[in-house]
A and B are shown apart, each in its own frame.
Chain A
Amino acid sequence: MHTRPEDIVITSDNSSRLCARTIKADFPVLSQDINGHKLVYLDNAASSQKPQSVIDELSRFYSEDNANIHRGLHTLAERSTNAYESTRKRVAKFIGCQNPDEVILNSGTTAGINLIAYSWGEEHINEGDEIVITEMEHHANLIPWVILAKRKKAVLKRIPITSDGRLNLDDIENIITDRTKILALSHMSNVLGTINPVTEIAEIAHKHGAIVVADGAQAVPHMPVDVSTLGVDFYTFSAHKMLGPTGVGVLWGKKELLDKMQPFMTGGEMIREVHFDKVTWAEIPHRFEPGTPNIAGVVGFAAAIDYLENIGMDKIRQHEIEITRYALEKLSKIDKLDIQGPTEPDIRGAAISFTDHNVHPHDISTFLDSKGIAIRAGHHCAQPLLRILGKVATARASFYIYNDEADVDALVQAIIEMKKYFGV
């Protein structure tokens, strides 16, 4: 890791904590000024920044190895294929999966969930069946199920949320029934930050014979995830939220389920034998990877995983618990500011949505940007949840490995100035 002498300052008395300042130096984009202020990047739940090692790996791949994969018999094709396939193994190991064939590389979380809805869903969902989701789902883990339910005349049921943004499981035995075929839920909410008790709910769903799909887009970047013990059947996430390139994602699924699934998209690469009147499919994972994938992105993704593992996912989670604790404490002291989601840092991630009683989230975002602070404002692709919260939009600050207490302080200071500026 890139280290400069002046950075060897532990910002905390707890030496097991990571040093965000040292890490920040590895991310070239973070060293700039925005609108005359040092950039404070707090939009990590939307997309993370990339370390130099990932940027270098993309450049190295295009400069040295680039060719299409699984096809050519020349040296570059072999190098590309090896690099691509070794990322698959790297990803498998990272999420505790024993068999890399269960790892499907695609364009992102959205692609993974749509694949399950259109492939597994098409075959197994019938009229009157139930699909269970939660009220806190991102549109990516919501719309495919809404459409599937409509297409099949199935019933879409949902697990409600409590006032502090956790899943309300009081009525779970009536929500998940023998008619339930799919339970789809987010591992960590992109709006509330809530970490859901996936294993506990998956057990109930399995008791009723349903399959369980977890949206891990917000979880995998921020905490250790082990699919071998999580208790789900499918798990999806995106590289760009975890230091990797955009346009790369992962669908992990149990082999016995994937083996029986029909492809969702067809074309090159995903076949065994093709005739004018008959086609047989390739084995998994290739059956679900039609066309030329984002090869360079996948190769760069391995560098991102290396970076995260060098720090250690446990340490990252610990860092985020601490920064969330600090942020919640500071933000909750600001007058007329409402914070969404659980108040205990150990059951939530570092995406913190908030609203001001008087200043609209879009004005908050514009004002903070003028101070160099990047946050997200809007409905966060979770309109039904926002309606339940009674908000049209929220502002969201989301933290990552390169953020520290000083970034929280900058945010809090800017919010206080903002209130004066708008004077309402």
Chain B
Amino acid sequence: MLLDDMYRDVILDHYRYPRGRKPIEKKDFSSIGHNPACGDDITIQIALENGNISEIFADCKGCAISTASGSIMAEYIKGKAVDEVKHIAQNVRQMLKGEPCELPDDMGDIDALEGVKNFPVRIKCALLAWITLIEGIGNYESGHADEIVVVSTEQGED
């Protein structure tokens, strides 16, 4: 088992210095994710400007993998269009689950999450931020932005 394959330097850097931790003043939507198996929690708040993500707060309380995954996500999606982010998030989910996926050439630090695939019990840790984001966007798109979605990794993410 290659520990360093999962805990890559990029992952450990995001874990030690997580991005997206500055609370935002006026959010357009938010969602909360929970991994009941290990108790990891994430709160995501997003502010938009002309359909683009202008600010993101991603507060993850959990292990190195879920914290880093949330941080990588926060860094990557800032400034991008909601549609594009939704597409990418769905593909990151596919990648983590070992399913066929299309990811953009410029993946930022997302590719560092690929090593998690080899540690099946830890995939949920990496998934948490992304599925919470997907649900939040879905809720926003269906006009329920003021309701907070609560997502659990136990729901259809096995």
- Interface size bracket, A side: 20 to 34
Residue B32 interfacial (CB < 8 Å): no
Closest to B17 in A: A424
| Smallest beta-carbon distance A191→chain B, Å | 14
Residue interface mask B4-39, A partner, CB < 8 A = 1: 001100001001100000000000000000000111
Bound complex: CA of A421 vs CA of B16, how far in Å? 12
Bound complex: CA of A379 vs CA of B63, how far in Å? 14
Bound complex: CA of A315 vs CA of B17, how far in Å? 50
Binds B, one of A85-93, A327-335, A360-368: A360-368
Residue from B1, B3, B16 in contact with A423 in the complex, judged by beta carbons closer than 8 Å = B16
B63→A362 contact, CB < 8 A: yes
Provided the pairs A360-B62, A360-B63, A424-B15 are in contact, do residues A366 and B119 lie with their beta carbons within 8 angstroms? Answer: yes
Residue A292 interfacial (CB < 8 Å): no
A367→B3 contact, CB < 8 A: yes
Most buried by A among B6, B62, B64: B64
A366→B6 contact, CB < 8 A: yes
Q: In the complex, which residues of chain A have a beta carbon less than 8 angstroms from the beta carbon of B73?
A: none
- Size of the B side of the interface (Cβ < 8 Å), in residues, is 20
Q: In the complex, which residues of chain A have a beta carbon less than 8 angstroms from the beta carbon of B41?
A: 392
Bound complex: CA of A391 vs CA of B65, how far in Å? 18
Q: In the complex, which residues of chain A have a beta carbon less than 8 angstroms from the beta carbon of B40?
A: 360, 392
Provided the pairs A367-B3, A422-B64 are in contact, do residues A392 and B39 lie with their beta carbons within 8 angstroms? Answer: yes
A369→B1 contact, CB < 8 A: yes
Most buried by B among A35, A361, A366, A386: A366
Closest to A359 in B: B64
Tell me whether chain B's interface is mostly helix, strand or loop, or mixed: mixed
A370→B63 contact, CB < 8 A: no
Q: In the complex, which residues of chain A have a beta carbon less than 8 angstroms from the beta carbon of B15?
A: 422, 424
Q: In the complex, which residues of chain B have a beta carbon less than 8 angstroms from the beta carbon of A367?
A: 3
A378→B64 contact, CB < 8 A: no
A366→B3 contact, CB < 8 A: yes
Residue A393 interfacial (CB < 8 Å): yes
Q: In the complex, which residues of chain A have a beta carbon less than 8 angstroms from the beta carbon of B12?
A: 422-423
Closest to B124 in A: A362
Bound complex: CA of A304 vs CA of B80, how far in Å? 62
Bound complex: CA of A5 vs CA of B63, how far in Å? 46
The B-contacting residues of A in range 202-219, CB under 8 angstroms, are none
Q: In the complex, which residues of chain B have a beta carbon less than 8 angstroms from the beta carbon of A369?
A: 1
Provided the pairs A422-B12, A423-B16 are in contact, do residues A363 and B38 lie with their beta carbons within 8 angstroms? Answer: no
Bound complex: CA of A148 vs CA of B15, how far in Å? 44
Residue B122 interfacial (CB < 8 Å): yes
Residue B125 interfacial (CB < 8 Å): yes
Residue interface mask B110-141, A partner, CB < 8 A = 1: 00000000010010010000000000000000
A379→B39 contact, CB < 8 A: yes
B16→A363 contact, CB < 8 A: no
Q: In the complex, which residues of chain B have a beta carbon less than 8 angstroms from the beta carbon of A392?
A: 38-41, 61-62
Bound complex: CA of A422 vs CA of B1, how far in Å? 17
B65→A363 contact, CB < 8 A: yes
B16→A362 contact, CB < 8 A: no
| Smallest beta-carbon distance B43→chain A, Å | 14
Q: In the complex, which residues of chain A have a beta carbon less than 8 angstroms from the beta carbon of B64?
A: 359-360, 363, 422
A-B contacts, 22 listed (Cβ < 8 Å): A359-B64, A360-B40, A360-B62, A361-B38, A362-B38, A362-B63, A362-B125, A363-B7, A363-B65, A366-B119, A366-B122, A367-B3, A378-B37, A379-B39, A386-B39, A392-B38, A392-B41, A392-B62, A422-B12, A422-B64, A424-B15, A424-B16
Chain A to chain B: the 7 pairs with minimum beta-carbon distance, closest first: A392-B39, A360-B63, A370-B3, A362-B63, A35-B1, A363-B64, A363-B63
Q: Which residues of A contact B (CB under 8 A)?
A: 35, 359-363, 366-367, 369-370, 377-379, 386, 391-393, 421-424
Q: Which residues of B contact A (CB under 8 A)?
A: 1, 3, 6-7, 12, 15-16, 37-41, 61-65, 119, 122, 125
Q: Give 12 A-B pairs besides A367-B3, A370-B1, A393-B38 with Cβ atoms closer than 8 angstroms.
A: A360-B38, A360-B40, A360-B62, A360-B63, A360-B64, A362-B122, A363-B64, A363-B65, A392-B62, A393-B39, A421-B7, A422-B7
